[in-house]
Structure 1
Amino acid sequence: MEFTKFFSQAEAERVHEASLEILENVGMLVRNPKALDIFEKNGCQVDRETMLVKFPRAVVEKARETFVPTYTFTAQDPKFDVTLPSNRPVVVTGSSAPNVIDPKTGEERRATSDDIANIAYLINELPGFDVFSISTLAEDAPEGQFSLSRFYPALKNCKKPVRSNTPNMNDLKVVLELGALIAGGEDKYRERPFINHHYCPVVSPLTFDVESTEAVIYLVEQGLPVYGTIVPNAGMTSPLSLMGTLVLGNAEFLGLATLIQMIRPGAPMIYAVLSTVADMRTGAYAPGAIETGMLQMGHTEMARYYNVPSGGYIGLTNAHTNDAQSGYETGMNTTAALLAGADLFNMGGLLGSLMAFDFGKAVIDNEIALMLKRLKKGYEYSEENLCLDLIAQVGPGGSYMDLDHTMKNMRTIAVLPKVATREMRRRWEDQGKPDAHSRAMKEATKILSKPNKSRFTEEMDAKVRAHFKGLVAGDAKWSL
């Protein structure tokens, strides 16, 4: 498949060269002591007083030699395993919003573990989503169980790959303990690590933080799945230039990738980004802007240059409700990224610049995801699919409606939406003129009103709750 390109091969090479210049001459501020040790041991120039690390070109190029072209998200149920890029587009929910749009009142409020349980079940049942990146925080988390109160209801109610992060090393190790308990032992968990970890260890511009970097180092050392997202914001933390932001973000990716490959050569990675351009009229964060899609396209080209999977937070919106803005920001940017060859799409369910999850938005995004997957599938070229015999059989003025060929293909050739309306206006009026959001909420209610057949068994749940005292309930329950 040919992809949309902004750059010639020579221009992509220049972006790479410019990134090397930044790493070699400007360097990166590295606040994590372990990372400083790793960089120094592997040939970087490390100033312990300033914590500045400079990367000789040869060091970065050596790391590039061990990049691998695939990344797998493992699930509790193997039928949900997905691998980049062969299963692209892999669609993931947006994650870690503090708030939720209450499905009863329509008002924004703090999210709870009950919301996570309901969202997990919904995502498990929506076929357009491949990975559940835990969509919200849990305001009701008991003291000392911040991360458990997110991962437990997620894993209890969703058999697809679950992805999220933790705020510190203690929480990370507790979450891994939960994974081992569910798997039936640490060895079994290591065979199929169904918790997928994600962090933003690089803070633009050109800075490694402490806690997230510590987590990435630990997980790479343990051979467990982890990747990072690069998040420059043009006009704020990167130059107010698409090319300048692309080059800075590319340098940051190479800095992180070099650290990972120094620890474990051949460790799988994703070139993941949320590169944005600030709205300089107010300084507002603008992940829904078309420039976010354009930057994703540019980073995706560089990912192909390095032969690694690509993607990130693409298809987000600044809209606070499921209106036209929400639809066109999500639709335009995901389509642009798909045509450029992106593999991973963190696009589902969030409104208001990643601040609030909305159940209706998730159902609508599922429909967009199915459209993206259909677009990726493309035409199925074959002599049989030219249908020449069929066209000759029906002839001019005939009908294809009652043919076996039509019956055979009617559910597979076209996406059959459950939210988008295709009825005549009179019927729509008779139904009360429902808008897309109300139709999406109706679909969410239909799904969530049924018993969750994928939840933990009673025996498994009892084992987990006996091990971790005082856990939140973690049950998917829905009533409107």
Structure 2
Amino acid sequence: MVRGFRLLERGEIEEIHSSTLRLLERTGVEVRNEEALSLLEENGCEVEERRVRIPGELVEECLRRAPSKIELHSRDGERRLLIGGDNVVYNPGSAAIYFLDYETGEIRRGTSRDLERLVRLADALRHIEAQSTAIVPSDVPEEVADLYRLYIVLRNSDKPIITGAFSKQGLIDMAEMLNAAVGGAEKLGRRPRAIFDCCPTSPLIWGDVTAQNLLDCADRGIPAEIIPAPQIGATSPATLAGTLLQSNAEILSGVVITQLRRAGAPVIYGGSPTLFDMRYVTARLGAIEAVMTACAGAEIGRHYGLPTHGYLGLSDSKVVDGQSCFESAIGIIMAALTGVNVVSGPGMLVEENCQSLEKLVIDDELCGMAYRLLEGIEVEGETLALEVIERVGPGGHFLAERHTMKHFRRERYIPSDVVCRLTVDAWRKAGSKDILTRARERVEKLLREHQPKPMPEERAQALEEVLDSIFQRYGLKRPEV
């Protein structure tokens, strides 16, 4: 396996860590949740109104309590997905509000139908190992938009899920939906199906909702993914090192909250840094500096022995074009080489705001190539093929060799038809199709042919009953999907 590509030396990480402890002890963080404030104060933190200063020894103790690996499970528990170690898991980015319509080419507000198609497509893709609640549907009332996204994913895929709540009640309701989908709270605690994103506000604030989400995840044994989203030069320092320091303080303060609530609560060291472009007053995720910061942040998390996450593999482009491909490729490959465990971003355009089905199938190929890269080159007697080379000799060929038949597929990543490897003449005869056309055709083929594994009837009924009760509580009518 290819390993060892690093942006930070060990000494640099240790300097960031020691500076983080000083920052948390001297400046602290603002916590806008009364329950979290009380918990922190009871455990030796200095609380002055909403400002919390955290002793360094407490931070390091809580880091020791947090688990180094997390297992996510498919709906039936038959498939396990390891989050931690050297494992890399790609999933579509989450919570886009726009959708690039592959039938019209227009960017518009996303709908429930768009999310359903994206989930079914991701279910079919080989290298997208987890789902996400990828679109906030505009045809669903705001009060239930977060949980309705989860409902669509649960009904259309059995892959593990990256999600998040928009409110305190939203997380509680979504946990009940997950309980129904897997067969009860006890099963969900033993075999988590989903990770919940919990995002501090940069600089150095834990809002009421996100802090409560952290507490509620810890109570239920649901893995929490702590994701700062600093804008480099705007809501964090203009230097990448300064942004890493600030983000580290935000994440470690969240780790403290989770571990004080429940020692051993699963937590993931995440990040979604952007580069603030002062020319256009925009925040750029496809910028190389944002990619570097996300990957370096994951290196810090790995140093602590925590599972890691990064928003990578997405693009600032507005369409599927050369820019979207090279920005996504850089993020996907860098994430693999630096060992980011959960990579959120394939399929996304316009920073984190738009989903594209064509881009998702292209990114799936990039993810496959990244996995092949991680396998590296195996050098030993059989693969060196010395005897085969001697037998074939000068001027021969290897096509008929048993060694070739044995290793042909094992050594190669074989892409789908999205990647064109035809001769020029064959390409012309096939219609001279560009990558966007080929991607669109693959989207249509997979949506037409792939059938997600159905949810068992009793669990589907339990999920429907939970959702009905939630809509009734709000006095809302369920949308048709």
Normalization by structure 1: what TM-score?
Answer: 0.93
Specify which of 310, 315, 318 is matched with residue 317 of structure 1.
Answer: 315
1:19: how far off? 1.0
Name the amino acid aligned to 1:228. Answer: I
1:133-156 CA distance string (max 9 Å, x none)? 111011222575323421112111
| Residue number in structure 2 paired with 1:117 | 116
Name the amino acid aligned to 1:9. Answer: R
Name the amino acid aligned to 1:271. Answer: Y
1:95-127 CA distance string (max 9 Å, x none)? 110111122211112212122221111111101
Structure 1, gaps ≥5 residues long: 475-480
| Alpha-carbon separation, structure 2, partners of 1:461 and 1:210 | 33
| Alpha-carbon separation, structure 2, partners of 1:33 and 1:16 | 28
Name the amino acid aligned to 2:210. Answer: S
| Residue number in structure 2 paired with 1:478 | none
| Residue number in structure 1 paired with 2:341 | 343
| Alpha-carbon separation, structure 1, partners of 2:63 and 2:320 | 42
Query: Is the 1:349–1:361 contact (alpha carbons within 8 Å) kept by the matching residues of 2?
Result: yes
- 1:305/1:451 Cα in 2 relative to 1: closer, same or farther (>3 Å)? closer
- Are 2:287 and 1:289 aligned? yes
Any idea what SS the aligned residue of 1:230 has?
Answer: coil
Any idea what SS the aligned residue of 2:409 has?
Answer: coil
| Residue number in structure 2 paired with 1:159 | 158
Name the amino acid aligned to 2:449. Answer: K
- 1:80/1:381 Cα in 2 relative to 1: closer, same or farther (>3 Å)? farther
| 1:49-448 → structure 2 map (5 Å cutoff) | 51-86=50-85, 88-141=87-140, 144-200=143-199, 202-418=200-416, 419-448=418-447
1:8: how far off? 3.0
| Alpha-carbon separation, structure 2, partners of 1:163 and 1:85 | 15
The 10-residue stretch of structure 1 (292-301 or 210-219) with the greater mean CA deviation from structure 2: 292-301
Query: Is the 2:398–2:404 contact (alpha carbons within 8 Å) kept by the matching residues of 1?
Result: yes
Any idea what SS the aligned residue of 2:195 has?
Answer: strand
Name the amino acid aligned to 2:47. Answer: V
1:356: how far off? 1.2
Any idea what SS the aligned residue of 1:121 has?
Answer: helix
Any idea what SS the aligned residue of 2:284 has?
Answer: coil
| Alpha-carbon separation, structure 1, partners of 2:63 and 2:406 | 48
Name the amino acid aligned to 2:81. Answer: V
1:63: how far off? 1.5
Any idea what SS the aligned residue of 1:429 has?
Answer: helix
| Alpha-carbon separation, structure 1, partners of 2:267 and 2:15 | 23
| Alpha-carbon separation, structure 2, partners of 1:323 and 1:187 | 46
1:86: how far off? 4.3
| Residue number in structure 2 paired with 1:12 | 13
1:55: how far off? 1.2
> What is the total number of aligned residue pairs between the two structures?
471
1:2-32 CA distance string (max 9 Å, x none)? 4223333322211111111111111111111
The 10-residue stretch of structure 1 (422-431 or 448-457) with the greater mean CA deviation from structure 2: 448-457
Query: Is the 2:223–2:268 contact (alpha carbons within 8 Å) kept by the matching residues of 1?
Result: no
- Are 2:36 and 1:35 aligned? yes
Tell me the C-alpha RMSD between the 2 structures: 1.9
1:314: how far off? 1.1
Query: Is the 1:80–1:159 contact (alpha carbons within 8 Å) kept by the matching residues of 2?
Result: no
Name the amino acid aligned to 2:113. Answer: D
- 1:149/1:87 Cα in 2 relative to 1: closer, same or farther (>3 Å)? same
Query: Is the 1:312–1:346 contact (alpha carbons within 8 Å) kept by the matching residues of 2?
Result: yes
Name the amino acid aligned to 1:434. Answer: K
Name the amino acid aligned to 1:178. Answer: M
Name the amino acid aligned to 2:48. Answer: D
| Alpha-carbon separation, structure 2, partners of 1:309 and 1:433 | 44
| Alpha-carbon separation, structure 2, partners of 1:466 and 1:265 | 33
- 1:109/1:407 Cα in 2 relative to 1: closer, same or farther (>3 Å)? same
Name the amino acid aligned to 2:228. Answer: I
| Alpha-carbon separation, structure 2, partners of 1:388 and 1:223 | 53
Name the amino acid aligned to 1:20. Answer: L
- 1:106/1:459 Cα in 2 relative to 1: closer, same or farther (>3 Å)? farther
1:427: how far off? 2.0
| Alpha-carbon separation, structure 1, partners of 2:411 and 2:84 | 23
1:412: how far off? 2.9
Any idea what SS the aligned residue of 2:162 has?
Answer: strand
| Alpha-carbon separation, structure 1, partners of 2:7 and 2:38 | 38
Structure 2, gaps ≥5 residues long: 469-476
- 1:145/1:299 Cα in 2 relative to 1: closer, same or farther (>3 Å)? closer
Any idea what SS the aligned residue of 2:352 has?
Answer: coil
1:66: how far off? 1.6
1:27-61 CA distance string (max 9 Å, x none)? 1111111111111011110012xx10111222212
| Alpha-carbon separation, structure 1, partners of 2:76 and 2:316 | 34
| Alpha-carbon separation, structure 2, partners of 1:451 and 1:84 | 27
1:448: how far off? 0.6
Normalization by structure 2: what TM-score?
Answer: 0.93
1:467: how far off? 4.9
Query: Is the 1:77–1:160 contact (alpha carbons within 8 Å) kept by the matching residues of 2?
Result: no
| Alpha-carbon separation, structure 2, partners of 1:460 and 1:250 | 40
Name the amino acid aligned to 1:4. Answer: F
Query: Is the 1:74–1:196 contact (alpha carbons within 8 Å) kept by the matching residues of 2?
Result: no
Query: Is the 2:308–2:341 contact (alpha carbons within 8 Å) kept by the matching residues of 1?
Result: yes
- 1:338/1:109 Cα in 2 relative to 1: closer, same or farther (>3 Å)? same
1:410: how far off? 2.6
1:87: how far off? 6.0
| Alpha-carbon separation, structure 1, partners of 2:9 and 2:458 | 58
The percent identity for this pair of structures is 30
Query: Is the 1:163–1:195 contact (alpha carbons within 8 Å) kept by the matching residues of 2?
Result: yes
| Alpha-carbon separation, structure 1, partners of 2:180 and 2:14 | 47
- 1:248/1:366 Cα in 2 relative to 1: closer, same or farther (>3 Å)? same
| Alpha-carbon separation, structure 1, partners of 2:213 and 2:279 | 37
- 1:6/1:448 Cα in 2 relative to 1: closer, same or farther (>3 Å)? closer
Any idea what SS the aligned residue of 2:227 has?
Answer: strand
1:151-176 CA distance string (max 9 Å, x none)? 11211111110221111122222222
1:323: how far off? 0.6
| Alpha-carbon separation, structure 2, partners of 1:376 and 1:427 | 32
The 10-residue stretch of structure 1 (204-213 or 219-228) with the greater mean CA deviation from structure 2: 219-228
